[in-house]
Structure formats: C-alpha cells, structure tokens
Amino acid sequence: KAGVTQTPRYLIKTRGQQVTLSCSPISGHRSVSWYQQTPGQGLQFLFEYFSETQRNKGNFPGRFSGRQFSNSRSEMNVSTLELGDSALYLCASSSGRAQDTIYFGEGSWLTVV
Amino acid sequence: EDQVTQSPEALRLQEGESSSLNCSYTVSGLRGLFWYRQDPGKGPEFLFTLYSAGEEKEKERLKATLTKKESFLHITAPKPEDSATYLCAVQANSGNTPLVFGKGTRLSVIA
C-alpha cells in the first residue's frame, strides 16, 4: 500500500514569507504527527493530529501551526519565516492506537534565505 | 523529562566487521522503543519496535535488544548498503505522547 506522501519535496522561501506543507498519511491511518529535523537538534516534535483534533503539541512558537482534514490529510503552516526555520520537515502517520508502528514520509526540505 | 542518548555519534566499519550501536534512555514508563534507519535526504525508515525488557527482534543482518535502561542494535557482517544513520526513539506510556528521538549514529561500512 502507498506510504506517507509529503509535498512539496523541496522549496526555497524568503525570510518573512509563509509556507504550507502537505502530508497524506497511509490509508486508514488517523494520526498524523509533524517533526522538524535539523543537524544540530535532531528530530523535534511539532504537533500531532488525530481525527481532525490536535492531540499533542511540542515546544515551538505560535508561528508553527497545523490542521487535519476529514480525510486525515494534514497541512502545517509556518508564518513569518526565519532563517532558523530551514530544516527537513517530516510527517509521520499511524493508526493512533497505542503501540502502533509510526511511519514517516520522505520529508519536505525547506530553505529560508 | 524523557531523554534518549545514542552512541557512538559515528562509526566506521570494514565490510564484515560486526558491531553494536547503543541507545540509552530515560522515560517515565516505556510504551515502546523504536529503531529507524535514515538515508541522506530521506525520511526515517521503520526497522523495529521493542516493548519490554528482554525482547529481541531480528531483520536480515540487524538484531535489536532491549533492557530497562538501554537498547542495542547489533549489526552482523555489515555490507556497504547498511551505511546510514540509525535513529532510536522512545514513546512514554502516558496518554498520547510523541516519539522522543536520539541524535542518531552515523554508520559507514567500507568495502
């Protein structure tokens, strides 16, 4: 079956702009999580959505937001981009049940110039 | 606070030279410990989940083991295609908590 799909794969934005990233989870999965990966900090949790509700949130500023649609697809938005937001943004999906496997997409590479 | 520490940061092996990667963790009740492999420019690829101390899982040349404080990823007779960054993550057993990742071990296998 199809894996986790993220779009776009690569993008370049200018400081101060905003960006929207999209994630389609594995069919049947209702939980979508977002992570930011940088060389210095590793993978850091942004937020998780389950059945269109934010179930958990990491320690990121309010410029980072997300949402989930009724078909479980999710988007994350970063407003007023800063140079430090340059990173690989990873989406992960699971059924949302305890002890379920969590699968990652290929990520969206964001460069802020 | 849940924490994961992986060692070494980088490991260089000759093809066929077996070794182990370490993942030490502190967590307020373990729901699961996850191992992923990540190739450059790609997302993490799921390898194993371990749930309780004493559990072991194998896949090809990889074997993961778990104790109450750490996990090991043993690589037997590695090949160049095993070169990647190996990530360890834990999930606490309290509500719907996210994965907490270590910084990873970057493995290079030289032919």
- CB contact under 8 Å between B46 and A101, yes or no, is yes
Question: B84: distance to nearest CA of chain A, Å?
Answer: 15
pLDDT of A2 = 73
Residues A49, A78, A15, CA angle at the centre, nearest 5°?
A: 165
Interface with chain A: mutation pick from B34, B49, B96, highest number of A CBs within 10 Å: B96
List, for residues A64-87, the tens digit of each pLDDT value: 999 999 999 999 999 999 999 999
Candidates A104, A106, A108, A110: best to mutate against B (most CBs of B within 10 A) is: A104
B43 with A55: Cβ contact below 8 A: no
pLDDT value, residue A1: 58
Residue B95: CA count within 13 A, CB half-sphere = 6
| Overall average pLDDT of the B10-29 stretch | 96
Please tell me the predicted confidence (pLDDT) of residue B77: 98
Mean pLDDT, residues A89-98 taken together:
89
Give residue B82's pLDDT: 98
Question: Which token pair is B61?
Answer: 């040349």
Per-residue pLDDT at B94:
77
pLDDT for A17-38, tens place per residue? Answer: 999 999 999 999 999 999 999 9
Separation in Å, CA A8 to CA A18, A37, A99: 14, 16, 30
Query: Across the interface, do A56 and B96 touch by the CB < 8 Å criterion?
Result: yes
Residue B42 is nearest to which of A44, A99, A106, comparing CB atoms?
A106
How many Cβ pairs within 8 Å bridge chains A and B? 53
Residue B93 has pLDDT above 90, yes or no: no
